[in-house]
Amino acid sequence: MSEQKRPPGQRGERDEHLILDEVTDQLATTFRLLSGDPNEAAERAFADIGVNTRAEAALLGEIAAPGPLAHPDRFEQSHRLAMRALEVADRGAWKHPRLPRLGPLSGAAESGVELVARTIVQGHVADVVRALSRLYARREAQSQPASPERRMLVRARIQADRLALGYQGGGFPLPTVLIGGAAVPVLASASRQFGALQHASTAWVVAGGVVLVILFVALAWVLLQGAGLAHRRIRATLNPSLAALYQTIGHCGHPPEDDSSTIAAAALALTAIAWFVVPIAIAVLATLF
């Protein structure tokens, strides 16, 4: 007697205990519990599915999210907008800073600020493109074969991979410059220890210290102005489009952050060195002559 056909979707004896079915059911329950108010949903999740922390509840909610795209009908539009914003930011978001009048030094100051801002902006654009390429590839792997979402993600991922070859960052070793600038007083102190300053006079020590203070303050000012310019321009030109894209993708965290805060912190550190470390070093060296 031939075996009767099972109705579609009915589980047989060989597959009724698959772990995949248990995980799928649990994720469906998690997604249902986590919909609505986040705090209330988290408390319900703790009681009903044994989740111990809100962080775990949020992670399970992301895994349980249906489909690779939260808003597939708007994904291509938001992707194109983000690509346009990346081009605009990379090309001109670092240009034409508004600076106080510095007389004959205005041109050099503007060039220095633009150099710092370009390094931050173009480096951030390159990071964003690489992050989108990885995100698109991951969501592509989660898509059903031959589905519209998969086709959209494949096209977007190929475009991001191609763009990554052209967006290579600012091309200026800014961290190396910062490390080199911060090492100046250390090298001056070391040179005194090895006799390089044995025949110098107190006046020369003071003059050298004053030059170091001026250089450090100038470098800190340029870094701070450049970091502020880059942060403002990125926030105005790029962040809104990236926020819209990440929303249409859904459950993918936040876009990468730019390095302007790190550069600003380095500028403040250089200012502290200029006003505190260098004068102390000058005073110590002056007492030795």
Q: What is the pLDDT of residues 85-140, one digit of tens each?
A: 999 999 999 999 999 888 898 999 999 999 999 999 999 999 999 999 999 999 99
Q: Are 105 and 222 in contact (CB under 8 A)?
A: no
- Global model pTM greater than 0.75: no
- What whole-number distance in Å separates Cα of residue 80 and Cα of residue 89? 14
Q: Are 137 and 248 in contact (CB under 8 A)?
A: no
pLDDT on residue 56: 75
Whether the predicted pLDDT of 262 surpasses 60: yes
pLDDT digits (tens, 9 = 90+) for 50-71: 556 777 777 777 888 788 999 9
Q: Are 171 and 185 in contact (CB under 8 A)?
A: no
Q: Measured between alpha carbons, how far is residue 208 from residues 61, 181, 204, 242 in Å? A: 61, 15, 6, 48
Residue type at position 41: A
Q: Are 102 and 110 in contact (CB under 8 A)?
A: no
pLDDT on residue 160: 96
Q: Which of 275, 271, 281 is nearest to 188 (CA)?
A: 281
Q: Measured between alpha carbons, how far is residue 41 from residues 23, 46, 61, 107 in Å? A: 19, 9, 10, 58
For the chain, what percent of residues have pLDDT higher than 70?
69
**What is the DSSP secondary structure assignment for residue 80, as one 8-state letter?**
H
